[in-house]
Structure 1
Amino acid sequence: MSLDDLNEEIQASYSEFGDELSIDLDRETRNELALLETALDPEETDELVRRAIHMLFQSTVETGNLDFHLRSAYDVTYDEYLSGMTFDQMTGADQYPTMDDERRYQF
């Protein structure tokens, strides 16, 4: 997979979400959400879910977990996704043909 594949899949997921996302909550999650809603008193519960997604995203980026998964699946990092270019494209390393090791030192 590549950076282009990643961009296509992100756009597809984004369009599938739409404006609203309904999810089923297990008992533990409902209890935690109820406690957070009571303690933090947001205007609406959706705000807590948005905050949770932001916090999960931030911690995933900071720990390198996002880069690990992106590199495993798409062979890119989050920085490469943000810039729209792979490291090889940024440095120009992908513009040279690969060397044949058996013929490398033949004159």
Structure 2
Amino acid sequence: MSLDDLRDDIDAQYGEFDDALSVDLDRETKHELAMLAAVFGTDDGELIRRAVHTLFQSTVGSGDLDFHLRQGYDTTYDEYLAGMTYEEMTGADQYPERDDVRRYQM
């Protein structure tokens, strides 16, 4: 898979989200959500948005996102943001492979 595949998958997934998501919550999650709503005085939607942002920032900061992106798409989050791979950024993909076996033969 590649950077283009990642973009396609993100676009497809984004299209599946409606403005309102319905999520089934287990008893523990409902309890935790109720506790946070009571403490912060916000609605459930705001807490869910905060939770998604926190999870995203956590996975970016810990390197988990890059690990999974590299496994599934052979790219990183920085490459996704730049819209090109490191090889494309540095020009390393412009030159042919060196033949180290025959390098010093004349």
TM-score scaled by structure 1?
Answer: 0.92
Equivalent AA in structure 1 for residue 44 of structure 2 = T
Cα deviation per residue 1:57-103 (whole Å; 9 max; x = unaligned)?
Answer: 00110001101000111111100000001000000001112234554
Give me the whole-angstrom Cα distance separating, in 2, the residues matched to 1:105 and 1:2.
35
Tell me the matched-pair count: 106
Q: Percent identity?
A: 64
Cα deviation per residue 1:5-41 (whole Å; 9 max; x = unaligned)?
Answer: 0000000000001211111001110010010011111
Give me the whole-angstrom Cα distance separating, in 2, the residues matched to 1:37 and 1:67.
32
Question: RMSD in angstroms over aligned alpha carbons?
Answer: 1.2
Cα deviation per residue 1:39-67 (whole Å; 9 max; x = unaligned)?
Answer: 1111x210000000000000110001101
Give me the whole-angstrom Cα distance separating, in 1, the residues matched to 2:27 and 2:104.
67
User: Secondary structure at 1:22's aligned position in 2?
Assistant: coil
Counterpart mapping for 1:59-74 below 5 A: 59-74=58-73
Give the unaligned 5+ runs of structure 2.
none
Counterparts in 2 of 1:18 and 1:103: CA distance versus 1, 3 Å: farther
Give me the whole-angstrom Cα distance separating, in 1, the residues matched to 2:80 and 2:3.
7
Give the aligned partner of residue 95 of structure 1: 94
Give the aligned partner of residue 3 of structure 2: 3
Counterpart mapping for 1:23-102 below 5 A: 23-42=23-42, 44-102=43-101
